Amino acid sequence: MSKASASLPDKPGPQSGQRARPGLYGRSKGKTLSPKQKSLIQDFLPTLGLPEGEIDPRAIWSDADQIWVEIGMGGGEHFVAQAAANPDQQLIGFEPFQNGMAKTLNTVERRGVRNVSLTMGDARLTLSRFVAGSVDRIFILYPDPWPKRRHWKRRLIQPGFVQEVSRLCRVGAEVRFVSDIAHYQQAALWQFLQNPDFVWTAESCADWQTAPNDHTTTKYEQKAFREKRTPAYLHFEKRAV
Ligand SMILES: C[S@@+](CC[C@H](N)C(=O)[O-])C[C@H]1O[C@@H](n2cnc3c(N)ncnc32)[C@H](O)[C@@H]1O
């Protein structure tokens, strides 16, 4: 066994203070990682991690114009494209699935993208250590839909999570939620509309039926198109209450 595989964790984390906890569902491992992928996770990922304790991203990246977060970035297609297209912003990505993280790391390395931080694990654990009002934009693209009613409680978008998103966001910050599952689209819209801290910015159907100009498609979006499902692009703004 190589040095890399000997010390790779079975579960996402612990990394940057991460710990496994009940409440994170879905896969953390898929196909066996190649030696190169193991090395990316063992050696490259820690160089992009976040500090222990309270995290003030604006203090860490004081040169960055804005702090953008992507939760569940999968293989990183959208995450890396945003980072490459916006070198003045700092992108912070979370993904517990190690094959997705390995793919993202590979693209980050190949493209030489510098303005990124990556954490392998449950975003909620690390984001709870972010100082309030420290994030300018949050992307949540195709979160696991958990279509069976008895699994809805596993969904990321819950009232408590929306409140936590509000805590993280500065006034004027944007939250972009995308899903191809009609019930989750409706449920997420309802949850954000129920929270007085957010306004839904759509003014016409086109605003939520059409991807924004700076959107980059993802693996799950391509799957949705192939299977003839229609995504909804829901954008919310944190307002001063
Ligand atoms: C359906 S996939 C979509 C991936 C990607 N956004 C895309 O569009 O291709 C949902 C992703 O969210 C990740 N995920 C689930 N719960 C998470 C959490 N609490 N924190 C961070 N990522 C999470 C999963 O591991 C999975 O990769």
193-211 tens-digit pLDDT? 999 999 999 999 999 999 9
Nearest CA to ligand 1 atom 10: 143
The C-alpha atoms of residue 149 and residue 166 are separated, in whole angstroms, by: 26
User: Residues enclosing ligand 1, CB less than 6 A?
Assistant: 24, 26, 71-74, 94-97, 100, 122-124, 141-144, 156, 218-221
Among 50, 92, 156, name the best residue to mutate to test ligand 1's pocket (greatest count of ligand atoms within 8 A of Cβ). Answer: 156
Q: What is the pLDDT of residue 76?
A: 98
Could you tell me the sign of the dihedral formed by the alpha carbons of 109, 58, 199, 156, in that order?
A: positive
- How far apart are the CA of 73 and the centre of ligand 1, in A? 6
How many CB atoms are located within 10 Å of the residue 84 CB? 18
- How far apart are the CA of 72 and the centre of ligand 1, in A? 3
Q: Establish whether 144 is a catalytic residue.
A: yes
- How far apart are the CA of 83 and the centre of ligand 1, in A? 18
- Provide the residue type at 200 as one letter: W
- How far apart are the CA of 205 and the centre of ligand 1, in A? 26
Which among 63, 144, 180, 207 is annotated as catalytic?
Answer: 144
pLDDT digits (tens, 9 = 90+) for 80-98: 999 999 999 999 999 999 9
Query: Helices 182-194 & 159-168, crossing angle to 10 degrees?
Result: 60
Nearest CA to ligand 1 atom 22: 72
Among 97, 158, 168, name the best residue to mutate to test ligand 1's pocket (greatest count of ligand atoms within 8 A of Cβ). Answer: 97
pLDDT digits (tens, 9 = 90+) for 36-47: 999 999 999 999
**Res. 13: pLDDT tops 50:** no
Q: What is the pLDDT of residue 66?
A: 98
Strand duo 135-141 + 67-71: pairing: parallel
Closest atom of ligand 1 to 94 CA is 21
Give CATH for domain 55-238: 3.40.50.150
The C-alpha atoms of residue 75 and residue 98 are separated, in whole angstroms, by: 10
Which element (helix H / strand E) includes 69?
strand 67-71
Tokens at 187, concatenated: 């449920």
Phi and psi torsions of 26, nearest 5°: 90, 180
**Res. 20: pLDDT tops 70:** no
- How far apart are the CA of 221 and the centre of ligand 1, in A? 12
Write the CB contacts of 141 (distance below 8 Å, at least 6 apart in sequence).
Answer: 70, 72, 73, 74, 78, 176, 177, 178, 218, 220, 221
**Res. 156: pLDDT tops 50:** yes
pLDDT tier at 24, thresholds 50, 70, 90? confident
Tokens at 221, concatenated: 């979006």
Q: What is the pLDDT of residue 1?
A: 32
Residue ranges covered by each domain of the chain: 55-238
Nearest CA to ligand 1 atom 25: 97
Write the CB contacts of 61 (distance below 8 Å, at least 6 apart in sequence).
Answer: 67, 90, 115
Question: Mean pLDDT across the chain, nearest whole number?
Answer: 91
- Candidates 150, 156, 144, 124; CA nearest to 20 is 124
Tokens at 137, concatenated: 């934009």
pLDDT tier at 150, thresholds 50, 70, 90? very high
